[in-house]
């Protein structure tokens, strides 16, 4: 087979020019080295690619057939080299990113839009999972980055940084008496039918709900415990109760739900970016640095 892709370049150029002088000029070389490269290519292939004499140069039938394959091989080789260089620099590659369901309402779509514009050749594989599963996936190396709830402070081998904070709101069915209130306090939730997060699947928001309702006496009447936010919102939309949920639920667009600001509180739902304290690929490092550096305002309430 041919020795190097330089022979292909020489062959393709000569096939296009059908003139050794013009082809050599395009290749910034003299005619003798060009003739030698063509001869070496023909010898390695075992076929004659050109008919030539002192007056003309033309492709043989074998040469015409080889021209299409040569162009494809050279294009693929050049693309492979370019891809390898971009992967080495971190401007290309594949990164697995874990995220919680709530992050998928706004944070992840917004982030992907920014990444697509800034790092168009990095492919992100999204994996929706709860925080505990993300921790396991990070430790197993099946994801490189994670958008999770703050539950990893004691996890060895993981680095984390707070990425986003958002307030909690009260989700109510349209027409609920509290939906017209300008301000809602904890006392307004007494005896109200409430749909809460399950203490196992939704532990982070379950504990936050109990904290927010600590001074509500008597407490609301908990009618359902559900693990996922979109399922809670579906029940609110059906008029089965009210719920304390993160403000990003507004992006779900339930038609029969209104979200009201609750009493003043410093408590916010937090999303953390986490990754392993281990060597990362160039693409993983590039994406992580982009997330950390390009959204300085994401930590605002």
Q: What is the pLDDT of residues 262-279, one digit of tens each?
A: 988 888 999 999 999 887
Q: Please state the separation of Cα 208 from the chain's center in Å.
A: 29
We find that the CATH architecture of domain 92-165+269-299 is 3-Layer(aba) Sandwich (3.40)
Model confidence pLDDT, tens digit, residues 216-225: 888 889 999 9
d(CA 169, CA 235): 16
Task: Please indicate whether the domains covering 92-165+269-299 and 168-261 agree at the CATH topology level.
Answer: yes
What per-residue confidence (pLDDT) applies to 88? 56
Residue appearing with tokens 């029969």? 256
Residue 18, burial from CB neighbour count under 10 angstroms (0-12, 13-18, 19+): middle
Q: What is the mean pLDDT of residues 189-211?
A: 92
The pTM is what? 0.67
Out of 3.30.390.50, 3.40.50.2020, 3.30.1330.10, 3.40.190.10, select the CATH number for domain 168-261: 3.40.190.10
Instruction: State the helix-helix crossing angle for 5-17 and 31-45, rounded to 10 degrees.
Output: 110
The 8-class DSSP code of residue 220 comes to P
List all residues 6 or more positions away from 33 whose beta carbon is below 8 Å from its beta carbon.
Answer: 24
Other CB atoms closer than 10 Å to residue 50's CB: what's the count?
Answer: 19
What topology does CATH give the domain 5-89?
A: Arc Repressor Mutant, subunit A (1.10.10)
Tell me the domain boundaries of the chain: 5-89, 92-165+269-299, 168-261
């Amino acid at each position: 087979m041919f020795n190097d892709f330089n022979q292909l370049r020489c062959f393709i150029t000569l096939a296009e020019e059908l003139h050794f002088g013009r082809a050599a000029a395009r290749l910034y070389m003299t005619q003798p080295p060009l003739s030698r490269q063509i001869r070496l290519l023909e010898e390695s292939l075992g076929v004659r690619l050109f008919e030539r004499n002192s007056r003309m140069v033309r492709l043989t039938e074998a040469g015409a057939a080889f021209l299409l394959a040569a162009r494809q091989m050279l294009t693929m080789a050049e693309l492979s080299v370019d891809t390898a260089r971009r992967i080495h620099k971190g401007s290309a590659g594949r990164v697995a990113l874990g995220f919680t369901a709530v992050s998928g309402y706004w944070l992840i779509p917004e982030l992907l839009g920014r990444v697509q514009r800034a790092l168009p050749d990095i492919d992100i594989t999204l994996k929706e999972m709860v925080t505990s599963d993300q921790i396991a996936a990070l430790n197993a190396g099946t994801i490189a980055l994670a958008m999770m709830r703050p539950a990893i402070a004691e996890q060895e081998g993981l680095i984390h940084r707070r990425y986003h904070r958002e307030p909690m709101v009260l989700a109510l069915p349209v027409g609920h008496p509290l939906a017209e209130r300008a301000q809602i306090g904890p006392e307004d939730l007494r005896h109200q039918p409430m749909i809460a997060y399950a203490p196992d699947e939704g532990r982070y928001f379950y504990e936050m709900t109990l904290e927010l309702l600590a001074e509500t006496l008597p407490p609301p009447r908990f009618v359902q415990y559900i693990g996922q936010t979109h399922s809670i919102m579906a029940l609110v939309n059906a008029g089965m109760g009210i719920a304390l949920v993160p403000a990003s639920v507004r992006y779900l667009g339930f038609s029969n739900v209104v979200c009201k600001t609750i009493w003043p509180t410093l408590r916010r739902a937090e999303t953390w970016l986490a990754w392993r304290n281990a060597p990362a690929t160039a693409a993983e490092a590039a994406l992580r640095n982009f997330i950390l550096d390009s959204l300085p305002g994401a930590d605002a309430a």
